[in-house]
Amino acid sequence: SFFFSSRRRHTRFLPVSWARRCVQETVIISLIILELLLSAYSFSFFCLGDINKSYNQIRIPVQRVEIEQSSTEVLDEQFLAEFNDNGEILLQASPDRIYKIMMQNHHNVQYLGVVYIGEHLQPYRIMFDTGSDWLWLADKQCNQCPQQIKRYSCGDEPNFCSYEFKKRAMQYGKGFVSGSLANITISFDQESLIKNMQALLTTKIKDLDKFQADGLMGVGQSKKKQHSSDRHSILDLLKESNRIQKKIFSIYLSDTMNPNDMSSELIFGDYDKNYADGPVVWHDLKTETGWFINLDSFNLGPHDIQSDAVMALVDSGSSLLIMGLDEFSQIINLLQTKYGAECEEQYGKYYCEGDYSRWPILRFIINGHSYELTSQSYVGPQGKIMISGRAYAKGMVILGDVYMRSYYCIFDADDKKIGITKAVSYTHLTLPTIYSVQISVVAVSLKKKI
């Protein structure tokens, strides 16, 4: 038999075996192309997933709306893939909606996430501060603001921003900001708008020259009760608009000097147990204003620190541990007299040399639970002591980023409590250890989606 082929006026006959071979090779090439396309799709689907950093779990976000790739994810539903004793994959769905904001670690000093502001949803690098309760940005007319801070022009967006024509000033340690109040529009995902967020548009910023962010968002408890009638916190606005189910958020801070690191994370609406290296211990708030919890005592190795501090503020806006002047002097004296440290003060900061491996654990006792920091935590680069004494800290201890890098903290505004657990080490968040399960989980996810 023959295969018939025609081209213009010329006619030729080809052997059927040759034609069959052409067809077979065409089919094979088509299958290879199809396989490559499916592999690319599977890889892209996997990349969109949020990988829980453990050996037997992968979390795959299922998104109702498609958003551009950014440092923020909006998760409407999550499938938590787990393995039973037979090696089969179990899928559990969580209906909670949460906002996840990845933060850049700026040399273990500041952690910055992206918030989108105004009509055109311009990205601003924002520091999230549990020690305060206001959002502030630099006004376009600010002539006394550091050059590196991005400005915002409220007057150019009358439908998305309105001035209240009220003046206000705020103190941040030595730092100071002042300006006018306004109601602005923000977004965490460039899709869902959060309107009527009250903010301070600053016209003066003083003694914040090393501030790397474009602004600051306070996520602390309101310091004045009367604010509740006319001002809403970001947690209030998220819950009232049904974007989160509970007024809760959590913060994980990585411990790395890499300025490109983006593994730190703030989650509005929930917390991720995979950041926890142990059980969560909950502590009731000591006051109605601020994230203050009870402090029993603290010590350096076997030496008790004589202190009148009765509470601790868990403060993501402070890079150091801050305590009263008296308590700080005791710690420096102990390091010098008991552990051979040679310390020198430079511009209000202490730098100490010595055998850091011999230096003792700094221990905080909170409601009978012990929280320990090794010398690797409280000694920074060039021997800088990551502890400071301040007159305004009398009667309390401020547990800043030095503490929060070691402990994963969960802030529950509804139930008025803070959950604390040992944080998973930054080195445990790398991906290669779970590559062996990626293909099987993606395959199940695709089947489930279809």
Q: CA–CA separation, 279 vs 310, rounded Å?
A: 25
CB 306 within 8 Å of CB 405:
no
pLDDT exceeds 50 at position 14? no
The single residue listed with the structure tokens 């038999």 is 1
Q: CA–CA separation, 227 vs 198, rounded Å?
A: 11
Q: Where are the alpha helices (DSSP H) in 101-233?
A: 227-230
Task: Give the list of residues 6+ apart from residue 391 with CB closer than 8 angstroms, or none.
Answer: 324, 325
pLDDT exceeds 60 at position 249? yes
Percent of the chain with pLDDT over 70: 74
Instruction: Over range 317-332, report the average pLDDT.
Output: 96
Instruction: Over range 165-171, report the average pLDDT.
Output: 91
Q: CA–CA separation, 184 vs 152, rounded Å?
A: 10
What's the DSSP call for residue 298? E
Structure tokens at 14: 């080809």
Q: CA–CA separation, 161 vs 164, rounded Å?
A: 10
CB 312 within 8 Å of CB 293:
yes
- pLDDT, tens digit (0-9, with 9 covering 90-100), for 117-128: 999 999 999 999
Query: pLDDT-based confidence at 17, cuts 50/70/90?
Result: low
DSSP E strand boundaries for 253-323: 264-268, 281-284, 292-294, 297-300, 303-304, 311-314, 321-323
CB 324 within 8 Å of CB 343:
no
Q: Mean pLDDT lowest for which of 299-308, 408-417, 429-438?
A: 429-438
Query: pLDDT-based confidence at 223, cuts 50/70/90?
Result: low
Q: CA–CA separation, 317 vs 187, rounded Å?
A: 21
Percent of the chain with pLDDT over 90: 61
What is the structure's pLDDT at 236? 93
pLDDT exceeds 60 at position 335? yes
- pLDDT, tens digit (0-9, with 9 covering 90-100), for 34-93: 767 665 554 444 344 443 433 333 232 323 233 233 344 444 333 333 334 444 333 232
How does strand 122-129 pair with strand 175-187?
Answer: unpaired
What is the structure's pLDDT at 88? 37
What is the structure's pLDDT at 120? 92
For residue 123, the surrounding DSSP H or E stretch is strand 122-129
Instruction: Over range 183-191, report the average pLDDT.
Output: 93
| Residue predicted with more confidence, 201 or 64 | 201
What is the structure's pLDDT at 222? 72
The single residue listed with the structure tokens 């009638």 is 229
Structure tokens at 275: 């950041």
Query: pLDDT-based confidence at 420, cuts 50/70/90?
Result: very high
What is the structure's pLDDT at 447? 32
- pLDDT, tens digit (0-9, with 9 covering 90-100), for 358-400: 999 999 999 999 999 999 999 999 999 999 999 999 999 999 9
Q: CA–CA separation, 352 vs 384, rounded Å?
A: 6
Quick check: helix, strand or coil at residue 391?
helix
CB 415 within 8 Å of CB 15:
no
pLDDT exceeds 90 at position 439? no
What is the structure's pLDDT at 388? 96
CB 408 within 8 Å of CB 423:
yes
Q: What are the beta bridge partners of residue 396?
A: 311
Quick check: helix, strand or coil at residue 378?
helix
What is the structure's pLDDT at 206? 92
Instruction: Over range 22-30, report the average pLDDT.
Output: 73
- Write the burial class of residue 344 (CB in 10 Å: 0-12 exposed, 13-18 middle, 19+ buried): exposed
| Residue predicted with more confidence, 202 or 443 | 202
Phi and psi at 431, nearest 5°, equal -95, -30
pLDDT exceeds 80 at position 348? yes
What's the DSSP call for residue 151? E
pLDDT exceeds 90 at position 426? no
pLDDT exceeds 70 at position 12? no
What is the structure's pLDDT at 74? 42
Q: Is 0.85 topped by the overall pTM? A: no
pLDDT exceeds 50 at position 332? yes
What's the DSSP call for residue 416? T
CA dihedral for 53, 55, 57, 58, sign (positive or negative):
positive
Phi and psi at 392, nearest 5°, equal -70, -10
